[in-house]
Amino acid sequence: MSFRDKPTAPINDELEMQQPETQQPDLLADTDERKRDSWGGKAEFLFSCISYAVGLGNVWRFPYLCYKNGGGAFLLPFLIMLLTVGIPLLYMETCFGQYSATGPITVWKASPLFTGIGWSMIIITFCGSIYYNMLIAWTMFYFWQSISSVTGDLPWTTCSSSWNTGDCVHIRTLSERNRCRRQGGFFAFALNHSCLLPNNASWVMESSDGAMRPFPGNDTPDGTALSTFYDEAATLNSTNTSLLHNFLGSVPAPKTSSDEYFHNFVLSISNGFHEMGLPKWELVLCLLASWIVVILCLIRGVKSAGKAVYFTGLFPYLVLTILLIRGLTLEGSSKGLEYFFIPNWDRLADAKVWGDAAMQVFFSLASGWGGIIALSSYNKFHNNALLDSLLVSLGDGATSIYAGMTVFCVLGYMSHVMSVPIDEVAKDGAGLAFILYPDIVTSMPVSPLWAALLFGMLLTLGFGTMIANVNTLVTSVCDNWSRHLSIGKRPFIVLCAICLLAFVCGLPCTTRGGMFVLQLLDNYSCTYSVLVVGFLELVVITWVYGADNFLDNIEEMNPFIRKSRTFWKIVWQFFSPLVLISVAIFTFTSIKPSKYGLYEFPPSADIAGWVISMLVVMPMPGVAIYKVVTLKGNMSLKQKIHSLMLPHRSWGREMGKKVRRRSRVGNEDMNGDGLPFETSQQPLTSSVLQSVSGVSNNGANIGASTDSRFLRILRGGGVNA
């Protein structure tokens, strides 16, 4: 038996010379492995993973969680969860993809019965890409408006546009209202934004420049009528100024100009699911442009993606640094940093804080999405996966903290400008990105420049994640049907087809009710189902395929891992599953009806959301049943299930098989377990099974090789050695 390629490491020369030079059938090689692309260098893989992990959530989700859960006290459970859960899960997925050199579907040749896990990962990634690119489309719309307003005012700074209502106020007006309240007065939006002070017979109006000036109540006819009542109110103390509200009538809560711009103009948001409306052409164009950018970045597969990630991985840090430096110079920034870093240690006793920390780590690193498996499948076989996992995990955590510093600097500034506590300013999600951020840049000098930088940074963060998501989809499809789709320009056709399908599926998000659709997808397609998929992935790899077998594979790639085998086995088999179970319990027990703002979704919407979640996880039992039913051979149900748990004969890339051959002991005719060498490379037929484990399968052909690793599975009486 000959090796088809020259070994990458020295082997026994005598053994190599004694092997007959016969060409073996290409059953053991990974399908089409010779045509598989690879990263141009280690840096490309690292930047790809960092761009994938560091996304919009690091900027608009983590800072809010940090504030909500005790400021600096939240950093401790976050870092603990990152080290004990984030790094192990990321390392496991990196090794899984690197060893197999295949995508999230084909990688489950390790245990074919559970191939449905890979299909669920693909559905999660596809659904996530639909709504994630809609967020990028909104960001692109804001970015275009920012660079178009370089010589003028930003469009969300005014209350005189066609989309504004009578409740619209400028951010400076809210600042004056808060100053009025601190003086014990009543700020009347209905009376030209006037401040009525109960301590004298005068009322105060807002001037055109946003400052406050005294305006005697008796100087005008309108003021005379008001001052008659106001003189009576002036005898009351400041706690009774609410009587003025009763006299003037109920006034709706004011909305900032940026709030109305986002909801009334950008979204043209409706009153609910019953008013979906037609797609907005501006958003359709932005969504189309977003998908075109993704296609251009992946036009040459990982070759072009590897170059694009240098920009998507570095530019956000440049902008964050610029914004941080600018934020530190703003008045009130120190107050924001105090909220961010000074811990409230009492919150550590709250289980919700630890649950939020674990969820943030789990979702930030995108465990269970399949992206890391796909990205690492393009690595070289002996790449140091542990070092990469450490760098990516710690880089993601450091970016979250760095972004938190930047965000809280400007939150402190807004708190100072508006004269309110930070808890009235802090928001998360779309409210932070498309309402608060525009308010912040509006109050800065040369605001269009800062707006362009801000939304340019959000664009690159979003595209970094989207490139990895779509690459995962393309990799999975091409690997699963590699004989037909991995040739010539066919991967590009697959890329265009996937992006076109996702674009069409995303069109409902461009309608007037699109925000509600997006919230539903976010809540159900990529939250509860991801926890289920991630947990089953961990269990199958460490308990079904076997932690020892998996660590054997890692040793073939990185021999130095031998010293820490026990540690990783304990973490993967016991600690990480317990943490994921805890996160799942925390998540499912805190489920609330979906809502956006004050609008509560109808029960039918939540039912539709649960249907989406079920559709995401259905491939796992569905594919397992299909494989059992279609497995040929006269075997019992138990034998079929057992055989499908064993690795397929083509599991692992050819490099891994060479390493296993070189590690065998004995002469050229015997493998490490004392079986004839030629027998050890045969499929597991009934005679082979019976000889090694005493199990007869009536002649069925079971897809697994009987080298030393697989023999340990059989002799152990089960699939977990």
CATH number at residue 323: 1.20.1740.10
The verdict on residue 75 lying in a domain is yes
Tens-place pLDDT, residues 605-645: 999 999 999 999 999 999 999 999 998 888 889 999 999 99
Tokens at 523, concatenated: 């809540």
- The full DSSP string for 88-140 is HHHHHHHHHHHHHTS-TTGGGGGSGGGHHHHHHHHHHHHHHHHHHHHHHHHHH
Residue with tokens 């109110």: 233
Task: Between 421 and 454, name the one with better pLDDT.
Answer: 454
Residues 313, 245: one domain? Answer: no
665 is in an annotated binding site: no
In angstroms and rounded to an integer, the radius of gyration of the C-alpha atoms of the chain is 31
Tell me what pLDDT residue 256 has: 78
How far CA 276 is from CA of 270, 280, 495, 510, 515, in Å, comes to 7, 11, 30, 10, 10
8 Å CB contact between 662 and 15: no
The verdict on residue 256 lying in a domain is no
Residues 398, 293: one domain? Answer: yes
Tens-place pLDDT, residues 351-370: 788 888 888 888 888 888 99
Residue 316, CB half-sphere, CA atoms under 13 Å: how many?
28
8 Å CB contact between 543 and 720: yes
Query: Which of 163, 187, 162 minimizes the C-alpha distance to 176?
Result: 187
Residues 452, 587: one domain? Answer: yes
CA distance 528 to 613: 7
CA distance 105 to 351: 36
Residues 64, 193: one domain? Answer: no
Tell me what pLDDT residue 623 has: 94
Q: Output the furthest CA–CA distance in the chain (Å, rounded).
A: 112
Q: List Cβ neighbours of 285 (8 Å cut-off, separation of 6 or more).
A: none
What's 510-535 look like in SS3? HCCCHHHHHHHHHHHHHHHHHHHHHH
Tell me what pLDDT residue 85 has: 86
Tell me what pLDDT residue 389 has: 93
461 is in an annotated binding site: yes
CA distance 276 to 29: 51
The verdict on residue 18 lying in a domain is yes
111 is in an annotated binding site: no
Query: Which of 368, 477, 469, 377 minimizes the C-alpha distance to 121?
Result: 368
Residues 503, 542: one domain? Answer: yes
CA distance 392 to 386: 10
The verdict on residue 159 lying in a domain is no
Q: How far apart are the first and last CA of the chain?
A: 29
Residue 309 has pLDDT above 80, yes or no: yes
Residues 319, 433: one domain? Answer: yes
Residue 251 has pLDDT above 50, yes or no: no
pLDDT bucket at 301, cuts 50 / 70 / 90: confident
Range among 102-106, 192-196, 594-598, 684-688 rated most confident: 102-106
Structural domain count of the chain: 3
Residues 466, 575: one domain? Answer: yes
| Per-chain mean pLDDT for the chain | 76
Residues 554, 609: one domain? Answer: yes
The verdict on residue 156 lying in a domain is no
Query: Which among 561, 594, 623 is the end of a domain?
Result: 623
Residue 680 has pLDDT above 60, yes or no: no
Range among 17-31, 46-60, 481-495, 540-554 rated most confident: 540-554
Angle between helices 302-328 and 447-480 (to 10 degrees): 150
Query: Which among 251, 283, 304 is the end of a domain?
Result: 251
pLDDT bucket at 238, cuts 50 / 70 / 90: very low
CA distance 391 to 397: 10
54 is in an annotated binding site: yes
Residue 390 lies in domain: 31-150+264-623
**Mean pLDDT computed over 286-309:** 88
Angle between helices 351-364 and 385-418 (to 10 degrees): 120
Residues 22, 41: one domain? Answer: no
Tell me what pLDDT residue 414 has: 78
Residues 381, 515: one domain? Answer: yes
Residues 453, 551: one domain? Answer: yes
Query: Which among 623, 642, 672 is the end of a domain?
Result: 623
Tens-place pLDDT, residues 501-560: 999 999 999 999 999 999 888 888 887 888 899 999 999 999 999 999 999 999 999 999
Tens-place pLDDT, residues 198-208: 554 344 444 33
pLDDT bucket at 174, cuts 50 / 70 / 90: low
Among 307-311, 536-540, 687-691, whose mean pLDDT is lowest? 687-691
The verdict on residue 162 lying in a domain is no
Helix (H, G, I), strand (E, B) or coil at 87: helix
The verdict on residue 135 lying in a domain is yes
The verdict on residue 526 lying in a domain is yes
659 is in an annotated binding site: no
The DSSP output letter for 278 is P
- β-pair type (255-256, 168-169): parallel
**Mean pLDDT computed over 113-130:** 94
Tell me what pLDDT residue 89 has: 92
Residues 638, 713: one domain? Answer: yes
